[in-house]
């Protein structure tokens, strides 16, 4: 720190301004005079996209391991594995002289239409946050930085550079910021990348509340905030708003604007110095590590395969998997030969090697047992002849394996999907093939949920293989042939139809705004509240074995500060070794604000041999029970009962117990004479104070209501939403008790606490 402060004192104004805007597409400015090196940042979340030319934004990058995309990685629910993925990516970053990897992305999958959902983890902020923590810790443990992105509420591609996200503070905190908060506090990323969009009127790149008040001051973030590439509009305003580094560069006019703003007194030099300090801290941190120039390609490929095999989710299995030595196997689909294994855009990796599903199936089954038909073009194009050909191949086999991948023209960074179904060609293909071949297996390569009406009932198996990385083909084959027991579970709900989805009415917005009208009710929180059936729920996934849940241990009572550790026994009751993902949801019996029916607060993945039992312990902390109260501008807890729900999925709750929490954090009193009667009653202290008045009023109104006097309704119902001062005004004459004194006394006492 000393060294950095000395450097800052020796830097000219021009040097400081220059440091805060990139030197090239991927590098920061180095200052030779002061021995300040430049650092190199590259995308992205599932591999190292190192271009040769630092001024080129889109050239093909140097070959690197293409790991499974976040959509697949999160479905592993395996934090150890994700950490290993981070370590491996860091080794590759070393070899390419990269200092910071631009990822992970923890934006919430608000709707399955989101074009970039493949790059994000989940519809649930807790799961997203924990996945990000593992990846960041893995990468940073080897001295390579991460840049957590895109901060914040960047949940669609439509008008992504300008859209104004209109979202209430509670939803922002509990859903859209929470994964960032977990990752920032637990894993300390070196950088946070601000999003392109606006939130409630301000660009994220200039959003003081977001970047300074919340991220830096409240969460204690010590790294630098970098702009998404091209997200800065007004450089001076963005510095004031807390954005430290603008990318890409060079942008001379920006540097000049900053210099002039300091000279004219418009920009406080302290603000610029703070940005410089934050950047320099990371620049020098990046120099602390020894770099290896090589990495073990085979080991990384094997790791990519292992992650894919744990992230692939078996959604339906009417008894045919694992394959049992069928004599003839028909493989159908363009993507069996040209797999779709990652998404388009900035995260696109040039893979070191690419496994092909058809080849991997032949390796298991033997060349002679496998026939192939293309089935589709890999694009959204209808071609009946390909369907006819596939039907012929399927007919003469014992089983048909249909590889169906959403074309890149439908799903990518830069644009959202228009619907949730497969292409017309693919739907007709499945229908035609399954008509002649009852043993049909569908393997999906999509970055997010698809709907399945019109074909799911016709096929025996659905295997969700996501965009599964360069080694995913081998993982699919391992699962089909039973070499690996599937253990992935959905990190997002698969709805029955698009119209069911939470954001349906508000997406993608218009007139430059998208209103998050569904509030907290995103993903399973919405389907729970609506009691709406879904195709496959959040947290769901099948296995080749079965698991029994027993012996749930939950203390009867606890305090929010201590938290609570629960434990449960999981037994593998089937014949195959397997892994189970145990999920802990918390349900609040009663709260002063509406709350989703349940929320994920813990999980564990446990490996079990047949017959084996393990006890899983999962800690729950203050936040597992708290909610964000916009009046108190804080997370609060309230005394009361909570159910601890242990699920094999969000809709398959196997065990539950009720426990009583004592809140140690008494919320400050926000009642005053302008609060409504309902608000006074909701606060136990407020209620105690006005109770005498309430009883008097009740008695008086009852009399009126029961007689023929009055206005033919129960006035109690009407006055609940009136402000206390209005009620006092007209009740003073009628009530014989000194209400004013009671209320004044209460307020004096409450506010002096």
Positions marked catalytic: 228
What b/e string do you get for 49-82 counting C-beta neighbours within 10 Å, with b at 16 or more?
Answer: bbbeebeeeeeebbbbbbbbbbbbbbbbbbbebb
Nearer to ligand BGC, 126 or 229 (CB): 229
Sheet of strand 198-199: strand arrangement: 202-203, 198-199, 164-166, 513-515
Q: Are strands 329-332 and 370-373 parallel, antiparallel or unpaired?
A: parallel
Residues from 429 through 448 that contact ligand BGC (CB under 6 A): none
Q: Which residues contact 178 (CB under 8 A, 6 or more apart)?
A: 125, 126, 129
- Kindly state the tokens that stand for 253: 């006019």
Q: How far is the CB of 115 from ligand BGC (least distance, A)?
A: 11
**Site size with ligand BGC, rule: CB under 6 A:** 7
Q: How far is the CB of 58 from ligand BGC (least distance, A)?
A: 9
Three-class DSSP category at 562: coil
User: Rounded to an integer, what distance in angstroms lies between the CA atom of residue 328 and that of residue 369?
Assistant: 5
| Contact pick of 15, 23, 38, 43 for ligand BGC (by CB under 6 A) | 43
Three-class DSSP category at 252: helix
Q: Does 228 bind ligand BGC (CB under 6 A)?
A: yes
Nearer to ligand BGC, 206 or 528 (CB): 206
Q: What is the DSSP letter of 511?
A: T
- DSSP, residue by residue, 70-135: HHHHHTT--HHHHHHHHHHHHHHHHHTT--EEE--B-----STT-TTGGGB--SSHHHHHHHHHHH
Residues from 95 through 134 that contact ligand BGC (CB under 6 A): 102
What is the chain's length? 753
Between 138 and 167, how does the x/- string for binding to ligand BGC read (CB under 6 A)? -----------x------------------
Nearer to ligand BGC, 181 or 228 (CB): 228
Element housing 611 (H / E): none
Q: How far is the CB of 628 from ligand BGC (least distance, A)?
A: 27
| Contact pick of 229, 527, 538, 627 for ligand BGC (by CB under 6 A) | 229
User: Rounded to an integer, what distance in angstroms lies between the CA atom of residue 707 and that of residue 644?
Assistant: 48
Q: How far is the CB of 56 from ligand BGC (least distance, A)?
A: 11
| Contact pick of 346, 374, 448, 571 for ligand BGC (by CB under 6 A) | 346
Q: Does 68 bind ligand BGC (CB under 6 A)?
A: no
Q: Which residues contact 517 (CB under 8 A, 6 or more apart)?
A: 505, 506
Q: Does 22 bind ligand BGC (CB under 6 A)?
A: no
Q: How far is the CB of 243 from ligand BGC (least distance, A)?
A: 15
The answer to whether the beta carbons of residues 453 and 499 sit under 8 Å apart is no
Nearer to ligand BGC, 70 or 361 (CB): 70
Nearer to ligand BGC, 69 or 501 (CB): 69
Nearer to ligand BGC, 191 or 373 (CB): 191
Question: What is the number of the residue whose Cβ is closest to ligand BGC?
Answer: 346
Q: Does 207 bind ligand BGC (CB under 6 A)?
A: no
Nearer to ligand BGC, 227 or 309 (CB): 227
Q: How far is the CB of 247 from ligand BGC (least distance, A)?
A: 7
Q: Does 44 bind ligand BGC (CB under 6 A)?
A: yes
- Kindly state the tokens that stand for 732: 């003073």
The answer to whether the beta carbons of residues 650 and 662 sit under 8 Å apart is no
Nearer to ligand BGC, 306 or 411 (CB): 411
Residue pointed to by tokens 């209620």:
687
Q: How far is the CB of 422 from ligand BGC (least distance, A)?
A: 27
Q: Which residues contact 534 (CB under 8 A, 6 or more apart)?
A: 493, 494, 495, 496, 500, 527, 651
Q: How far is the CB of 543 from ligand BGC (least distance, A)?
A: 34
Q: Footprint of ligand BGC on this chain (CB under 6 A)? A: 43-44, 102, 149, 228-229, 346
């Amino acid at each position: 720190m000393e060294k950095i402060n000395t450097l800052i004192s020796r830097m000219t104004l021009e040097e400081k301004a220059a440091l805060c805007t990139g030197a090239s597409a991927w590098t920061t400015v180095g200052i030779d005079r002061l021995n300040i090196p430049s650092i190199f940042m590259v995308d992205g979340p599932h591999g190292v996209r190192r271009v040769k030319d630092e001024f080129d934004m889109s050239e093909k990058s140097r070959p690197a391991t293409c790991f499974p995309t976040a959509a697949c990685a999160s479905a592993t629910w395996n934090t150890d594995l994700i950490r290993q993925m981070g370590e491996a990516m860091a080794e590759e970053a070393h070899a390419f002289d990269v200092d910071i990897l631009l990822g992970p992305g923890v934006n919430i999958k608000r709707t399955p239409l989101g074009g970039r959902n493949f790059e994000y983890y989940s519809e649930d902020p807790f799961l997203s946050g924990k996945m990000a923590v593992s990846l960041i810790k893995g990468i940073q443990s080897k001295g390579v930085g991460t840049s957590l992105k895109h901060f914040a509420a960047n949940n669609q591609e439509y008008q992504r550079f300008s859209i104004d996200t209109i979202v209430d503070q509670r939803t922002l905190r509990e859903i859209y910021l929470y994964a960032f908060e977990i990752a920032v506090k637990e894993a300390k990323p070196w950088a946070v990348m601000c999003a392109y969009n606006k939130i409630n009127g301000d660009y994220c790149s200039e959003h003081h509340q977001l970047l300074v008040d919340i991220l830096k001051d409240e969460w204690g973030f010590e790294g630098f905030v970098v702009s998404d590439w091209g997200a800065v509009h007004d450089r001076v305003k963005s510095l004031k708003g807390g954005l430290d580094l603008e990318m890409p560069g060079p942008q001379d006019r920006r540097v000049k604007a900053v210099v002039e703003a300091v000279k004219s007194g418009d920009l406080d030099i302290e603000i610029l110095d703070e940005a410089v300090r934050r950047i320099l801290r990371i620049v020098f941190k990046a120099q602390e590590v020894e770099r290896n120039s090589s990495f073990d390609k085979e080991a990384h490929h094997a790791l990519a395969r292992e992650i894919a095999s744990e992230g692939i989710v078996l959604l339906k299995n009417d008894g045919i998997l694992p394959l049992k030595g069928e004599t003839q196997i028909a493989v159908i689909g363009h993507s069996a030969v040209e797999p779709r294994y990652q998404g388009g855009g900035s995260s696109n990796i040039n893979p070191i090697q690419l496994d092909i599903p058809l080849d991997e199936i032949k390796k298991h089954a033997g060349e002679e047992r496998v026939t192939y038909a293309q089935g589709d073009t890999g694009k959204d194009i209808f071609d009946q002849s390909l369907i006819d050909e596939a039907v012929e191949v399927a007919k003469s086999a014992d089983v048909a394996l249909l590889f169906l991948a959403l074309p890149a023209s439908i799903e990518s960074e830069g644009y959202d999907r228009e619907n949730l179904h497969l292409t017309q060609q693919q739907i007709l293909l499945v229908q035609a093939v399954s008509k002649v071949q009852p043993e049909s297996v569908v393997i999906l390569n999509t970055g997010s949920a698809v709907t399945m009406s019109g074909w799911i009932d016709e096929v025996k198996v659905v295997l969700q293989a996501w965009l599964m990385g360069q080694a995913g083909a081998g993982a699919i084959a391992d699962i089909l042939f039973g070499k690996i027991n599937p253990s992935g579970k959905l990190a997002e709900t698969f709805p029955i139809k698009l119209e069911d989805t939470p954001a349906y009415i508000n997406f993608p917005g218009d007139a430059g705004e998208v209103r998050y009208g569904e509030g907290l009710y995103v993903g399973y929180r919405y389907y729970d509240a609506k009691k709406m059936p879904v195709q496959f729920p959040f947290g769901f996934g099948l296995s080749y074995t079965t698991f029994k849940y027993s012996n749930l241990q939950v203390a009867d009572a606890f305090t929010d500060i201590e938290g609570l550790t629960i434990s449960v026994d999981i037994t593998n009751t089937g014949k195959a070794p397997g892994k189970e993902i145990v999920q802990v949801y918390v349900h609040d019996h009663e709260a002063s604000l509406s709350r989703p029916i349940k929320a994920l607060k813990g999980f564990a993945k446990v490996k079990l041999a047949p017959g084996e039992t393990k006890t899983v312990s999962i800690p729950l902390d203050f936040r597992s029970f708290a909610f964000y109260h916009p009046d108190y501008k804080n997370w609060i807890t309230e005394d009361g009962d909570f159910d601890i729900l242990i699920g094999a999925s969000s809709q398959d709750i196997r065990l539950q117990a009720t426990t009583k929490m004592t809140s140690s954090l008494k919320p400050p009193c926000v009642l005053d004479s302008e609060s409504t009667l309902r608000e006074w009653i909701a606060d136990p202290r407020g209620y105690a104070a006005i109770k005498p008045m309430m009883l008097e009023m009740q008695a008086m109104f009852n009399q009126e209501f029961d007689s023929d006097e009055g206005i033919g309704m129960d006035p109690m119902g009407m006055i609940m939403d009136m402000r206390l001062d209005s009620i006092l005004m007209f009740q003073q004459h009628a009530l014989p008790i000194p209400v004013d004194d009671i209320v004044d006394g209460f307020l004096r006492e409450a506010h002096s606490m």
